[in-house]
Amino acid sequence: MGMGAFDLMGLGTAVTATVITAIVFALAVLRVPRARHPHLAQVVALVLVSSLVLVTAALWINRATGTVSSWEFLAQGPGELSVQAQDGAPAQRGADGEDRDELAALEAAQSAPATSLQRDPLDDKALTGLRSTTHGQWITVTIPAPGIATTEAMVHLPAGYLQHPQRRYPVIVALSGIPGGPSTFRRSFELGRDMDRAASHGELGEAIVVAPTPYPGTYDTECVDADPSTDPATGPSSQGSDGQYETYLAEVVPDWVRTHLRTVEHPEAWASFGYSAGGWCANMLALRHPDLFASAISLAGYYQPLYASGQQWRPDDDPRYDLPALAAEEAPAVRLWFFYGADDPLPHPSLAQMQQAVRAPTSLTVASTPRGGHTASLWVEVTPAALRWLGSSSPGFAPAPTP
């Protein structure tokens, strides 16, 4: 990620900028009043000190948030996106060998009648804040579950959702990293905007986004079901939770979504999407629950859990969450799209294992850029490419035919 002393995100860079700013400020205070042209000197000093303060603040903020990973990324951007499909199931919609029975089942699910609750979303008290509009909109909802500490979620409904009371939509379950939460997909990613734009350009079918809360506060659950024997001091009970987050995300959330929203009840019409730790969650949910998710998009995630110190709910060698081993042994019928910046060290070890393990009918498409590090700005930039892949590879997310 470029974390040397004087790299863009290095401590030395931020400290040096702070020292230079302090020195220039001190010189301005001491020398400007004695200058031959004090008014001109004041203007120059004000501009110089203000600029240095802004640069210094930006360096410290960037160090904390990881928005820009390196001087090279700042000067040249991430570079060209390279995409490589791994051996596995065909990556394109309608490829030879497509299961005709599954496609027929998908079509039946797409045309299934809606319930009265689903037809009248403005009367559904669970959909708080829903407005009568022809545009796409975000709403904040609660998806309750016993033992889950934080049950807030955000839902994005596509344009025209209220105007087509019988139409069903595919679903993207969006999972944030740490720090982050459901609102990240509205504010930083603007995922709803990107999806509406992709749909208007014929790259993706209109879809619903559901962004639940996978972590209580900043506690790193890795979206797993906690081991009951976990130390009470560091385990789920310390967070006011029973720690059954995989169950929550794979059962409770989908059940709530199916009840309150007009969704297509078929795996081809469900995809998981996440970045960093959320990218791991997206991978894990698809590979462990192919009956729910047929596609997963992971932005700089990984394929084996990386628990934060003191926040480990399961043993390191728990085979249930060893995704490369699961792919090699069971080969679930899912499509995986994985992105990383080549200078980001986090994904490399488990990605290499996954590339060796994957076999049909699992498919893995790996995309990368030369630069970018482990930064949200990079993931936001490549999200449209991920959505195009989803629209071209999954029949459930295929764009509507052009009239």
Query: Predicted confidence band at 94 (pLDDT cuts at 50, 70, 90)?
Result: very low
365, two tokens: 């498409």
- Name the more confident of 77 and 256: 256
pLDDT at residue 82 in the model: 76
Q: Over pLDDT 90: what percentage of the chain?
A: 58
1 pLDDT higher than 50: no
273 pLDDT higher than 50: yes
**Rounded distance between C-alpha atoms, residue 335 and residue 226, angstroms:** 27
Query: Predicted confidence band at 156 (pLDDT cuts at 50, 70, 90)?
Result: very high
Query: Predicted confidence band at 69 (pLDDT cuts at 50, 70, 90)?
Result: low
92 pLDDT higher than 70: no
Query: Which 8-state DSSP code applies to residue 26?
Result: H
pLDDT at residue 192 in the model: 94
The answer to whether 247 touches 223, Cβ cutoff 8 Å, is no
* Fold that domain 82-397 belongs to in CATH: Rossmann fold (3.40.50)
State the pairing for strand pair 270-275/295-299: parallel
pLDDT at residue 140 in the model: 97
Helices of type H across 127-252: 184-187, 191-200, 245-247
Q: What is the mean pLDDT of residues 347-366?
A: 94
Q: Is 39 exposed, middle or buried (0-12, 13-18, 19+ CB in 10 A)?
A: exposed
93 pLDDT higher than 50: no
349 pLDDT higher than 50: yes
Residues linked to residue 272 through DSSP beta bridges, in sequence order: 173, 296
**Rounded distance between C-alpha atoms, residue 170 and residue 161, angstroms:** 12
Residues 6+ apart with CB under 8 A from 209: 154, 155, 156, 171, 172, 174, 185, 191, 192, 195
- Name the more confident of 311 and 289: 289
Task: Give Cα 296 to chain centroid, integer Å.
Answer: 11
First to last CA, the chain: 47
Domain boundaries along the sequence of the chain: 11-65, 82-397
Phi then psi dihedrals of residue 62, to 5 deg: -65, -35
pLDDT at residue 233 in the model: 61
**Rounded distance between C-alpha atoms, residue 169 and residue 158, angstroms:** 9
3-state secondary structure of 298: strand
User: Which residue has tokens 């000190």?
Assistant: 49
Q: Could you report the per-residue pLDDT of 103-134, keeping only the tens digit for each? A: 899 999 999 999 999 999 999 999 989 999 99
User: Which residue has tokens 């939509």?
Assistant: 169
43-57, 66-80, 305-319: least confident range: 66-80
Q: Which helix (H) or strand (E) holds 90?
A: none
Phi then psi dihedrals of residue 263, to 5 deg: -110, 160
The answer to whether 175 touches 274, Cβ cutoff 8 Å, is yes
Q: Is 162 exposed, middle or buried (0-12, 13-18, 19+ CB in 10 A)?
A: middle
**Rounded distance between C-alpha atoms, residue 306 and residue 60, angstroms:** 26
Q: Which is nearest to 210 in space by CA: 116, 142, 111, 310?
A: 142
